[in-house]
Amino acid sequence: MRHLLQLEWMKLYKLVSFRLFTIFYLVALPALLLTGKRLGDLPPPLMTNEVFFIFPTVWEYLGYIGNWLCFFFFGFLSIISVTLEHSYRTMRQNIITGMSRGQYFRGKLYFILAVCLAATLYYALVGFTIGYFSTETIYWHKVWQNADYIPRYFLMCFGYMSFGLFLGLLIRRTGIALFLYLSYVMFIELILRWGVHLQLFNHRSMHFYPMNAAEDLVPVPFLGMADKFMAEQGFSIYLQPGEAAITVIVYSAIFLYLGYRRVKYSDL
C-alpha cells in the first residue's frame, strides 16, 4: 500500500493542476466561510451571521462549502489522475515494467482514499479552529453535537472521487471525462430526477441517485427547518444521513467495481 501511494505521489506532485487544486482547497475552505463576517443582518431563520462560525452550526456551513469544493477540485483531480496517465502512456509503461493491473487500480484507490482522508482532517481542523475562537462560551457537548458531519464529509468526498475515477477509467479522455462529470452532476442527474423520475414515478426514491446522495450527506444547512416541516407532511427534500451514507457506499462500490473491470479487461 505504501509503495503504491508513493508511486502515485511521484506521478502527481509535479502536476500544476494537482498543486493548484490543493492550494485552492486549503485557502478557499476557511476563506469562503469567513466572508460571512462581512454580512449584516440576515433574514429569518438565520437572523445573525454568528451561526456560520459558532458551535455546533459551524460544522454544517463549513461542510456545505466543502461540498462544493470537493465536487469540483477533487472530482476533477480523480479524473485527471487517470486520463493524463493514459495520454502520456504512463499506465502502459507501468504494466510493461511489472505492475499488475490490480496493483495499478489499487494505487488509484489508495490515492483517492488518502485525498479524502486529508481533506476531511483539514475540514475538521478548520471547523474546530473557527468554532473555538468564535464561540463565546465553549460547551464540549455543543462542540461535538454535529461532529457526525466529519465522517459524512469523508463519504461525500469519496463519493465524488469514486465517480470521477470511474469516468476517468471509462473514457480516458480528459476533456470529455471532465465535461461529462460536470454535466452529470449539475444537469443530467437533475433532469433524470425531476424531469423523468418524478413524472413517471412520484416517489421519494427520486432522491436515491448517486450524486444527490453524496450532496445530501452535507446538505444546505438553512433548509433543514423546511425539510423537517416537509418530512412531517410525508415528503422530504433530503435523504436521512444514514440513507445517504448507505447509498453513497453502494454506488461507490459499483463505480469502483466497474472501473476495476475496465482496467482489467481493456486495452492499454
Which tens digit of pLDDT belongs to each residue from 89-101?
777 777 666 788 9
d(CA 172, CA 164): 11
157-204 tens-digit pLDDT: 999 999 999 999 999 999 999 999 999 999 999 999 988 888 888 788
Give the orientation angle of helix 2-12 with respect to helix 75-87, to 10 degrees: 80
Contact (CB, 8 A) for 249 and 156:
no
- What domain range is 253 assigned to? 2-265
What's the confidence (pLDDT) of residue 10? 87
Under 8 Å between Cβ of 62 and 152: no
Domain count, the chain: 1
Among the ranges given (6-10, 56-60, 209-213, 215-219), the one the predictor scored with the smallest mean pLDDT: 6-10
Asked if 12 and 18 count as a contact pair (C-beta separation under 8 A), the reply is: yes
- pLDDT over threshold 90, residue 250: yes
34 has pLDDT over 50: yes
pTM over 0.75? The answer is yes
Please state, for a pLDDT cut of 90, what percent of the chain lies above it: 58
Please count the CA atoms within 13 angstroms of the CA of 13 that sit on its side-chain side. Answer: 6
**Mean pLDDT of the residues in the chain:** 88
* pLDDT at residue 7 in the model: 86
Distance CA 65, CA 22 (A): 15
Mean pLDDT along residues 52-66: 93
Q: What is the model's pLDDT at position 233?
A: 46
Q: What is the pLDDT of residue 4?
A: 87
Phi and psi dihedrals of 186, rounded to 5? -95, -25
Q: Yes or no: say if 222 and 153 are a contact pair by the CB < 8 Å rule.
A: no
Angstrom distance (rounded) from CA 151 to CA 120: 8
